[in-house]
Amino acid sequence: MSKTMFQKRDLREETAPLRAQIFDKLLQLPWDGISFKHAVPGLSLYRVVEPAGPFSGVYEPSVSLIIKGSKNVHVGNETLIYDESCFFLTAIGLPVTAQICAASEAQPYVAASLRLDLEKLRRIIADYDIHPTGMPERDLGVAVGTATPELFDALLRLISLANSPKDIPFLANHIQNEILYRLLTGEQGARLRRFALAGTNSNRVAKAVAWLKENYTSPLRVEELAEIANMGVSTLHHHFRAMTAMSPLQFQKHLRLHHARELMLAQSVDAATAALRVGYESPTQFSREYRRAFGHPPLRDIKAILNSNDSTKRNPVG
């Protein structure tokens, strides 16, 4: 067993009592299928009792903690695996594909996801002059970090507010700030800081990503995108790929395909209509790229999802 595996095992053992308390709290909640939207703004909880996925979606800036189980996440050509010893950090909104390989009634996959407020991050950095140790080896917009007892303790207190909703307006904000502080002062703090603060290359690329998410149906001119990011074209390409594991054009394609899938599921539109709505001029090209992304042509994929009891295919799991 490698040193890293020993460290993960020790960490899981250290956090096991806290995770057990969280699990007990979750058993008391009125679940709606696989998910529970907590009264705390931005906090979502998930429980899956059978292998699920691959499921796709556009993840917003968030931090996710697994209470039981493990999960594989694919971003572009990158694959990240995390379990109870890790947290999964999304610093910018990215299209991802994920899979839960093992889950059962006896051993369910249970996780929590908290949306990140970048404005709060900036205020904490400014008010407390936080300078994280070290720098990230890469600028990828997603990362796996160490899930410490302090993070699980804060999550337990946040989830427990379901039993005292009158305390949420005051206490939730303080606990969320504590979680942000733990992230900023931890091993992924430098990554978060670079995305949150204006003037950094990460923040400039984040502006380009935000523009693409708002305008994914429009034709893409990389020169205009470079102007939005206040970068040269080659510099944008370099940093964009480093952060998203995709080129701007690939990123736009993933956004279009994800939104087209949502349209076909939610509004029952046909593939050709969905293709046009998300910006494709050629239904043939759309079908070809859809199959590459999701494994089947649009019609077969949507029929399989609609005929399946696997609700995770319709709703990404945190």
The verdict on 79 and 206 lying in the same domain is: no
The verdict on 166 and 31 lying in the same domain is: yes
The verdict on 242 and 256 lying in the same domain is: no
CA distances from 79 to 129, 170, 220, 251 (A): 34, 38, 27, 16
Domain that holds residue 235: 201-246
Of 225 and 310, more confident: 225
Residue 179 lies in a domain: yes
pLDDT value, residue 135: 63
Question: Chain-centre distance of CA 22, in angstroms?
Answer: 21
Whose structure tokens read 């293709």? 275
The verdict on 14 and 142 lying in the same domain is: yes
The verdict on 105 and 176 lying in the same domain is: yes
CB 49 within 8 A of CB 311: no
Residue 115 lies in a domain: yes
CA distances from 174 to 104, 154, 171, 246 (A): 35, 10, 5, 36
CB 190 within 8 A of CB 198: no
Residue 54 lies in a domain: yes
pLDDT value, residue 20: 97
| DSSP letter string, 4-21 | HHHHHHHHHHHHHHHHHH
> Residue 33 is part of a domain; what is its CATH number?
2.60.120.280
Give me the mean pLDDT over the 279-287 stretch: 95
CB 140 within 8 A of CB 243: yes
Of 11 and 313, more confident: 11
The verdict on 236 and 155 lying in the same domain is: no
Q: Does residue 180 register a pLDDT over 70?
A: yes
> Residue 260 is part of a domain; what is its CATH number?
1.10.10.60
Write down which residue in 176, 196, 216 finishes a domain: 196
The verdict on 151 and 237 lying in the same domain is: no
Number of domains in the chain: 3
The verdict on 187 and 230 lying in the same domain is: no
The verdict on 192 and 224 lying in the same domain is: no
Q: Helix, strand or coil for residue 29?
A: coil
How many other CB atoms are found less than 10 A from the CB of residue 271? Answer: 20
pLDDT value, residue 211: 94
The verdict on 241 and 265 lying in the same domain is: no
pLDDT value, residue 1: 54
Write down which residue in 196, 223, 238 finishes a domain: 196
pLDDT value, residue 133: 65
First to last CA, the chain: 29
The verdict on 240 and 255 lying in the same domain is: no
Give me the mean pLDDT over the 276-293 stretch: 94
Residue 318 lies in a domain: no
Residue 148 lies in a domain: yes
The verdict on 28 and 150 lying in the same domain is: yes
pLDDT value, residue 318: 65
Please report which confidence band the pLDDT of residue 313 belongs to, taking 50, 70 and 90 as the band edges. low
Give me the mean pLDDT over the 153-171 stretch: 95
Write down which residue in 161, 196, 231 finishes a domain: 196
Single pTM value for the model: 0.83
31-69 residue pLDDT tens: 877 888 889 999 999 999 998 877 888 888 999 999 999
Of 180 and 309, more confident: 180
Whose structure tokens read 């989830």? 159
pLDDT value, residue 93: 83
Region at 114 (left for phi over 0; alpha for psi -120 to 50; beta for the rest): beta
Q: Does residue 121 register a pLDDT over 70?
A: yes
pLDDT value, residue 29: 87
